[in-house]
Structures are given as structure tokens and as C-alpha cells.
Structure 1
Amino acid sequence: MNKQLNKKVLLVMAMVVLVLTGCNFDSAKETDSNSNKNKETSEGKQVLNMVEASEIPTMDSAHAHDNVSFTVLSNVNEGLYRLGKEHKPELAMASDDQISEDGLVHTFTLRDANWSNGEPVTAADFVYAWQRVFKETGHYASMFETASILNATEILEGKKPVEELGVKALDEKTLEVTLAKPAPLLGQLLTFPTFLPQNQKFVESQGKKYALEASNVIYNGPFMLSEWKHDTSWKYKKNPDYWDADNVTLAEINVFVVKEAATQLNLYETKEVDSINLSSASVDQYQDNKDFMSIADSEIFFLRFNHNHKALGNENIRRAIDMSWDKKAHVETILNNGSLPLYGLVPKDFSSSPDGKGFRELNGDFNHGTIKEAQKYLAKGLEEIGQDSVKVTLTVSAVEGNDKTAEYLKSQIEKNLPELSVDIKLVPVEQRYELESAKEYDMVISAWGPDYIDPMTYIGMWVTDGSANRMDYSNTDYDALVEKINNENDPAKRYQMMLDAEKMLFEDAAIAPLYQRGLAVLQRSNIKGLVRHPSGPDFSFKWTRIEGK
């Protein structure tokens, strides 16, 4: 792309440095050795080479709350259920799930399976791990309430001890789970990493070192972590003692921590890795490549409004902002990675009704108006708050791509709604989350990836004082409807209630949806059976295989 030769030379040198830095190769000799090894194993053996943009934050399932941790934990450990090839829950560590007539008691029979240290996986391992989530004040302790586990709500509120959680080991291979009310989604929810088992004896023997290194964890899943070089890489190896090891083909998975998109692309082109997500800058160059795939993800991006803000607490001003910019042009020209414009809460192709109709198809688009309509809403809102102009700050995580989205939003809003001015505040991801939680922002670009495959994973976010609300939105009618949804067992009635709840949210213009994330992927055509999940872990490697060329 650069016309001058010296610029080309500098660019090539920079790329070489990035590759060496990103993969932490110590010398040219070692780089060549690793390169040849990876090429050989990728093409001739059952070895997969991947990249991640960040380190594993934690290997403790009681504390995990991010996609990287979820992906690793779900491949090296296994709960009562796991997500199958088609993203539906299937029995895993449990061989049977007997349900009482009233739907309140599930009796699970465990398979004959061992931890990687040779000890058997027992019902007590589940009791210990589930109670430990509460004792450790784990981020996802609320999932037990979502799953309707008996006394989970009371334990979260401090009204009952954790020992009264509705889970009991009847014997070594029989686990009894008691619910407060029937939970049609229980199997789906039990695939979530928070419900993984842990071996009490091992966890306590490690003390504060537990889960800090690959050797400080034991495994009962298809793979084990054989190596974990912090901030650099980790390695999975097939678990020979896994109960279903005969159906696991991959022998090894190498994951390199590479933050820069240009470095990832260079590693793919040199066959160091087998799959990457392209940046928007590279899509046009590679979209005709045989390895290129465009994937619609289920993660959504949206604007949170601080409802305590004088102007943004006004429904008409929020609605004006939502209508003031071209969402289609944004995904096509700024993101350029297969993302879709979003005019609702639940993304496209995520959920279908009992009669097979898509959620988005049924509810359609919200607040998809013209610039003139947006200007009318703004004028009405400004009159209601007694101001003739508004200045707001847009808080954004300082990660690749977000800055461009923020600049595009600022440009569109200020152009189409000249009474509004927007300042952009770039902060680290962790700080953005802290500011959200403290409600110390005006507007913030936020994201939500589903915890389970059901519209409630999005709809349940907005109840008054909910942990995911983080903007002081409150509608007592909405709260009551969510409660009814949680207690409705008729699938058709429940689905209609969820459609109604989404409509109510946008009648209030509570948030401004931005886009449904898309992934532009380069993946070698000889990789088969690599399952990408719409919720929970990003990948399941259990069914992956490398075919010969």
C-alpha cells in the first residue's frame, strides 16, 4: 500500500518484530523450529493452532465471568450437561436425569469418570463446587437463582446459609437437585461453567495457589492444560482418561496470546496458526479467499444511558439519539466484518418461537425512524427539560474498533442533532465496567454476550436494580412481566410474554441498540467439526478433527 520503498522495508521489519513479540519467540532459530513444527502438526497430525487476544483471566470456575475462561474451562472440565454440536444441552458427566412428576426434583446418575489425578468424579464434587460459588461470592452466583435452584435467592440475600442450597449427594454417583419451581431451561443452564464440579480435597490442598497454574488444577473434560505460559500461550492435550475419549480426535491445541490483528494475520499467512478473526481493514483483501467465512455472532453492542442524567433521563431525547445515525452504513463502512445493524434487543437467528418463527421476525424493528423524526423527538425532549442544548460524554472501552464506532456516533449525532454535542472518553475495559457499575457516565458503549440460549438472557438484564442493569432504568410493569415469564411453563405463552417485554423496553427507549457483532474469519478448510457456540464458551474442541490435504 505504501509507495516508497523505504516505507515498505520498515513495514516488513515492523511486522517481523510484532510476530516475534506476540508469540514470545526467543530467537530466529527458535522461530524457524516452531514454524516448521506447527506447519507439520497442523497438516499431518491432530494438532490445532489458535490465537486469543487476551490471557486466561482465571481457571477457577467459581470466579470465571469472561469468554476466554469459559472456553478453556468448558474444554478441560465437564458438568452434568454440555453444549452439543447443535448448541443444545446433552448429558455429559451425568448419564441420566430423572425428573419428579411435579418437576421440582432432578436426580442425576453420574458416569464412571475420573479426575486427571486419578480420583473419581463424585456427586460430592458438585455439591462442594456449587456451594463454593456462593462462599467465594462468584460473579455468576445469580445463575443458581436463574436456574431456580432451591434457596438460591435466600442465600444471595443472606437469609439462609449456603448449606441449604438445593443440591445433595445421595451417594457417590447420585446427585439430587431440588428446585424452587419447575425450570424448563435447567439443562441449558447447567451447561454454564459456573455449574462445573470441583474436587474439594484437591482445591483445599492448593490453598491460594489453586487455579493459578496448569498444575494447580485437575481436569475431567476432553482435554487438559499441559502448559500455561501467562500472557503468552497455553496448550491443551487430549485427556486419555476422559469417559468419552474415543470420540475425541485432536491430540493437541496450541493457543497463542496475540493482541494485534496484523500480527495474527501474519501468523495465519505463515501457517503458524489455523484460524483468526480479521480486522475490518483486512476484510476486503481476503473476502474472496477460500478460507474466508462471515459469521453472525450473538453478542450485541448498545448504548447505555444513565437514566439519572437530566437530559438522558428523558425518553424523547434517548429516542432521538437512537434514530439519529445510519446503523447500516456503520456496519458496512466502519466495521466491515459481517456485523448487522440492530433495531432490537434479541439478535437475529438467536431464538425461535415454539412454532419455529424467529424472535426478530416476530417483533420487527424498533425506533427505526428518519432524521426528521429524530429532530422532532429531540425538540420535544429539550422543551420538557427546559434546555436548548445538551452536552454529553460518551464513554468507550479502548479496544480496537470501538474508537471508530465512537467517532462515527459523535459525527452522526452532532450532524443530525446539532443541539447535542458529544465528547468521547476512552478508558480501559476494566475501568469502563467499573464506571458502568458505579453509574458514573452519561452514555457508554456496552456489549452483552448471552449466558444461555434463550431470549431471557437479554430480557432479564433490565429489571429494577438488576446486576446487569447498570443505568437505573426502572419500570414496575416490566419487572412484573419478567416475573411472570419466570413462572410460566407454557412455552407459547412464555414466548409471547418475552416478545411483549422487548416491546415494552423500546416503548421506553431505555437503550439504543448499535449492532449485532459479526466475525470475519480465516480458517483452514481442513479443520472440521470446530463448533462455535452462540453462548457460553466460544468453542468446543471435542468434535474437531484435522483432515489431511
Structure 2
Amino acid sequence: MKKFKIFTILIALSVVLAGCSSAEGVYSDKGQVFRKVLPQDISSLDTALVTDTVSFDVFNQIYEGLYTLDKNDKAQPGVAKDMPKKSNGGKTLTIKLRKDAKWSNGDPVTAQNFEYAWKRVVNPKTASEYAYIMYDLKNAEAINTGKKDIDELGVKAVNDHTLKVELNKPIPYISELLAFATFMPQSEKVVNKYGEQYGTTAEKSIYNGPFKVEDWKVEDKIQLVKNKDYWDKKKVHLDRVNYKVLKDQQAGASLYDTGSVDDTLITADQVDKYEGNPGLKKRLLASTFYIKLNRDNVPEFKNKDLRLAISQAIDKEGYVNAVKNDGSSATDGFTSKYTAKSPDGKDFTESIQSPLSYNPKSAKKHYDKAKKELGIKNLTFTMNTEDTAEKKISAEYIKAQVEKNLPGVTMKIKQLPFKQRVNQEHSETFEASLSGWGPDYPDPLTFLSIMTTGNASNNTGWGNKEYDKLIKDANGKLLQKPDERQAAMKKAEEIMLQEAPVAPIYQKGEAHLTNPQVKGLYYHQIGGDTSLKEVRIDKDIDRDTGNNKK
């Protein structure tokens, strides 16, 4: 163990020295620059193709949709001049676009850019994993499943600066939904120019947000510069944003200590070291993490009692205290806290009753029943997780709990780069996978809809007709009946938890070291993690004490 720690420290120091050797490199603090460690790389610069929160976070800085989210996660006009004008009972939106919005190549951002981008997402040839998020648009689902022509989508550029949107039904959170990355515009000219290579390098995309990508070295760094063509550039204080991709959070802390970065996540065993440091920040995110159990590759997972046994065998409080120590919270549910409120003003999650709390005696009973029904004495399966030290520790804790409380079960651990872990989930070439989900819009359906039968993010082989109907009703005939809608979503989540296609573990917390000089940074619970548009570096603040130097 000591040798491992010494090796980790040496690696961290080598990273620091390599970064400091370049005065104008990713660690340079010359001028107004925000330097942040990312735990993984973005997957693409193509808004139609990504599904991960790190990419969504970067997209918040380099692209802008019709609306953006403020620090309270409420929609504010972005490319749109004002909020949508609603007609036809709320099913038709007329949105006026500002005339001074431009792409980084000088082209105007037009209504056609939104019509093209949305049609590209739902076009089945694009194979967008997030196409379903547009199913509230008229004909979107039928187009995405090959039943209707792309030109029948409920979006039309009336002229260069007017967009008309037709919905299947009125959506109470539509403006917040339109702020999500998948709804951001794309230039047909640029997409056609680069074809399949679009979005694969910094040069093969254009940008309409506060910043643009200057350089992207895969699995290494992403460097942004202020976008001088951005319509609201007067509010942008930063000259540059430098992201360093670094899976080793020990090294991230070393970089922070040497003044080489302004923000980094830290690991559980580092938190105590930084108690009292003005840079230490903890936050609870609206994201839940759980084990997906793929019954198609492990037939034993079709047994409900086995699934219940696995979920009840894991001490989640012990997990967040011993493994995370970063503000994470144990959870027995699927939808996260802070996603949405019920009609009574309480958090939606407060109404949910779950049978999946830690209970080793109950877990053993379910396991014994499952063994008898399946005719087995032992079970071996593999759980995928990511190739970081923190994820390895997490997986080993879960493995120890499952194997201790369910004698005869062997859980193997398979570590993969983030992209490969996600790809194996989407292709369903895994047995179990430690996965997570965060809200795309402020409503429980942002979680519950992904577990409907056949959803691209379900990946478990589970489906339930009653569950599907409740979700359909909550997204349809009950939209204008808040109390009945609440009851339907509550019942749906409780059905899913009783069936246990996934084993909930925790709601994600984060422990950050953030330079006290960083001002104007705020976090979102929905969509991309941060907005850097109004961030500035106040160099009159002492980085070490957080106090004014004067």
C-alpha cells in the first residue's frame, strides 16, 4: 500500500512539473483564465450524439440554445429574444430569435439552424441516443422510429428569426427543456462540410456560445477562448478556459496545491486533509448512481428475488461514509432529490416508499428463495465500472458487501474507460454496470421515462406494462392535473423499485477544491454542470486564505 501511495505521488508530481514547464500551457494563469480538472474527456463536439454530463458541461460554455438556465435553474432567453408565445392551448410556440446572435465563423444564428439540428436528432440515420428527449415535438417519435418523414417534425423556421414549434401537448417545463444541449442549434453548412468527421476536432465545428474551442487533445486537454462573435460578449470576463483531463484525483489536488488549476474534484481520503481550507466545497448533485442488472446477459437476473437480494445486500450509508466522504447521500430510490417538487411544495422523493433499503437478513431470504427457484447454488457475474482509482475502491466495497451478505455470489469487477463503459451499456454487452443518471429538465419524468420498455438508456431488459402506461399518462392526459399526475409518477417509481431492475446506491456528492479568487461561478442541477459566462478571477483575493490582500 505504501509503495502504491509513493507511486501515485510521483505520478502526480510528474504531471505538475510537465504542466508548469509550459508558461502558456494548460496550467498558465496569465490574464483572466479559469483552469479546471475534468475526471474524463468529452465524447464529441456534436450535440446530437453525446449523452454524458461532462460533454453537456462543456457545451454550456461553447454553444447556446434558445434558452439558458440561470443560477436557480430557471430558463432565461439565450438565442431567443424572449420567452415563447404560446397558442393552441399551449401546444404551439412561436419563438423570436435575436438578430445579433452569430456563429464563431461570423454566420448568423438562424431559426433554420434550430430546425435543422432538431430534425437531425430525430432522424433515425443519426442514431442519436437522446432522440427520445424530443418526443414531445409533434411526430418526433414516429419519425425516429421510421414511421413518418423527417419533414413532418413539429418545428419550422418561419423566417430567419422566427421559429414555430408544435408540441403533442402543453409541457409545463418546456422553456427549461429547450435549454438542454440536444436542442442547441447546428449549422447545416458545417455539418455537411465535415460529414462523419463533424465534431471530432476543435476545427470541425463552429460555436455560438460565450467561448469557442481552440484546442482539443483527446484524453488530455480542452482549451477554450472567448468567442468574440458572441452576442453578449460584454458579460464574458474570462479570456480562456483550460480543462485538463485527469482521472487521478490525487494528481488533481497536487495541481491545486501548486496553483496550477482553479478547480478539481478530490477523493474521500483527501477531504479531511483540506478541512478548514477556504477552497474546500461540498455539494449534493441531483444525480443518482445504481447498478444496472442486465437480464439478457445474466438470465438469473430475471428472478425478482435475486434482484431484490442484491439491492438489499449493500450498506449504502457505509458506502457514502467510508468510500465517498464528499457530500454524497445514500439512496434507496431512483429519482434524485432536487429534481422536482410535488404539488404540495415538497421534494418529489419524499413521497416515495422503497423496499430497497439495506437489510442483510431480508437479502439472504430473497437470495435463498431465488436459489431454490433457479436451481442454483452459486452465482458469478461481472460488474463494469470506470478505470479510475476512486471507481475501483467503490466497486470493491460493493463487491465485498454482496459477497459477504449473499454467500455463494461472486462479483467480478471490470474496469473500463468511461466511453467504453457507456458504449457497452448502449450496446447491452455487459452483465452489470455501475451507472448513473442526472436530470435533463425539472420533472421526475427525466428519470422515470428512461426505464420505460425499450428506452435507449434502460439497458436492463426490464419492462412493465403498467409502469409504461403510468409514464405515458403522466406525460399526456394528466399534464394539466397535477395531483393525479403526482400520484401516477409516485406509483410508477414504486412499481419499478419493487421490481428492482436496478440497485440504487447513492446520490452523488462532490468535494471540490475551488480557488477563492473564482467569482461568478454557479452550478446547475439540470443539464450541464456549470455556467462560466460571468466567471471572473479576482486576483485581489489571497488564494491561500480567501481574504482580500489589501
> TM-score scaled by structure 1?
0.90
Are 2:201 and 2:216, in contact at CA under 8 Å, matched by a contact in 1?
A: yes
CA shift in 2, pair 1:73/1:262, >3 Å: same
Q: Shift of the alpha carbon at 1:36?
A: 9.2
TM superposition shift of 1:359? 1.8
Q: Which moved more, 1:206-215 or 1:271-280?
A: 206-215
Deviation of residue 15 (structure 1)? Answer: 3.5
RMSD over aligned Cα atoms = 2.5
Query: What's the offset of the Cα at 1:91?
Result: 1.8
Q: Is the 8 A contact 1:35 1:271 kept in 2?
A: no
Residues 213-292 of structure 1 mapped to structure 2, 5 A cutoff: 213-292=201-280
The residue identity in structure 1 corresponding to 2:13 is V
2:522 to 531, 534, 546: 531
| 1:317 matched residue in structure 2 | 306
Is the partner of 2:89 in helix, strand or coil? coil
Residues 196-205 or 458-467, more deviating? 196-205
Residue aligned with 1:447, SS: strand
**Per-residue deviation at 1:313?**
1.6
Q: What residue is the counterpart of 1:49 in the other structure?
A: 35
| Aligned residue among 373, 393, 415 for 1:404 | 393
Structure 1 residues 190 and 245: alpha-carbon distance in aligned structure 2, compared to 1, 3 A threshold: same
Helix, strand or coil at the partner of 2:301:
coil
Q: CA deviation at 1:125?
A: 1.4
- Per-residue deviation at 1:111? 0.6
Q: Is the 8 A contact 2:235 2:534 kept in 1?
A: yes
- The residue that corresponds to 1:520 in the other structure is 511
Paired residue for 1:16? 13
The CA deviation at 1:434 is: 4.2
Q: Equivalent of 2:87, from 100, 107, 110?
A: 100
Q: Within 2, Cα distance between the matches of 1:100 and 1:35?
A: 49
Deviating more after overlay: 534-543 vs 370-379: 370-379
Query: Hey, what does 1:139 align to over in structure 2?
Result: 129
- The aligned amino acid for 2:309 is A
Name the structure 2 match of 1:76: 62
AA partner of residue 300 (structure 2):
A
Aligned length: 532
Question: Aligned partners of 1:121, 1:196: CA distance in 2, in Å?
Answer: 11
Q: 1:433 maps to which residue? A: 422
- Aligned partner of 1:378 among 345, 367, 372: 367
Q: How does 1:158-177 map to 2 (within 5 A)?
A: 158-177=146-165
2:274 partner amino acid: Y
Match of 1:413 in 2: 402
Note if 1:502 corresponds to 2:482: no
Of 188, 193, 198, the match for 1:200? 188
Inter-partner Cα distance in structure 1 for 2:26 and 2:310: 50
Contact 2:453/2:464, CA 8 A, preserved across alignment: yes
Output aligned runs, 1:294-333, within 5 Å.
Answer: 294-308=282-296, 309-333=298-322
Give 1:124 shift: 1.2
Do the aligned partners of 2:40 and 2:418 also contact (CA within 8 Å) in 1? no
Give the aligned residue type for 2:132: S
- The superposition leaves residues 519-544 of structure 1 with CA deviations (integer Å, 9 ceiling, x where unpaired) of 11111122122122223212111122
Structure 1 stretches of 5 or more lacking a match?
A: none
Deviations 1:185-211 (A, max 9, x none): 221221111111122234334455533
Contact 1:94/1:110 (<8 A) preserved = yes
Three-state SS of the structure 2 residue aligned to 1:127 is helix
The 1-side partners of 2:26 and 2:162 are apart by 48
How do 1:338-377 residues align onto structure 2 when only pairs under 5 Å count? 338-377=327-366
For the 8 Å contact 2:26–2:244, the answer to whether it is kept is no
Of the candidates 96, 121, 144, which is equivalent to residue 109 of structure 1? 96
Distance 1:266 1:81, change over 3 A: same
Identity level (%): 36
**Residues 107 and 174, structure 1, Cα contact 8 Å, conserved in 2:** yes
Say if 1:275 and 1:153 are closer, same or farther in 2 by CA, change over 3 A. Answer: same
The change in CA–CA distance for 1:353 and 1:285 in structure 2 (over 3 A counts) is same
Structure 2: stretches of 5+ with no match in the other structure: 542-550
Q: Deviations over 1:120-174 (max 9, x none)?
A: 22111111222222253323222211xx111111111111121211111111111
Within the candidate set 475, 481, 484, 1:493 is matched to 484
Cα distance in 1 for partners of 2:11, 2:146 equals 55
Aligned amino acid, residue 183 of structure 1: I
Any conservation in 1 of the 2:26–2:221 contact (CA below 8 Å)?
Answer: no
Structure 1 match to 2:384: 395
Shift of 1:317: 1.9
Quick one: distance in 2 between partners of 1:13 and 1:417? 39
- Tell me the residue number matched to 1:455: 444
Q: Is the CA contact 2:312–2:360 (under 8 Å) kept in the aligned structure 1?
A: yes
Residue 389 of structure 2: SS of its match in structure 1?
A: coil
Structure 1 residues 208-250: Cα deviation after superposition (integer angstroms, max 9, x where no partner): 5533433333222222223334443233222333222232222
CA distance in 2, matches of 1:307, 1:483: 24
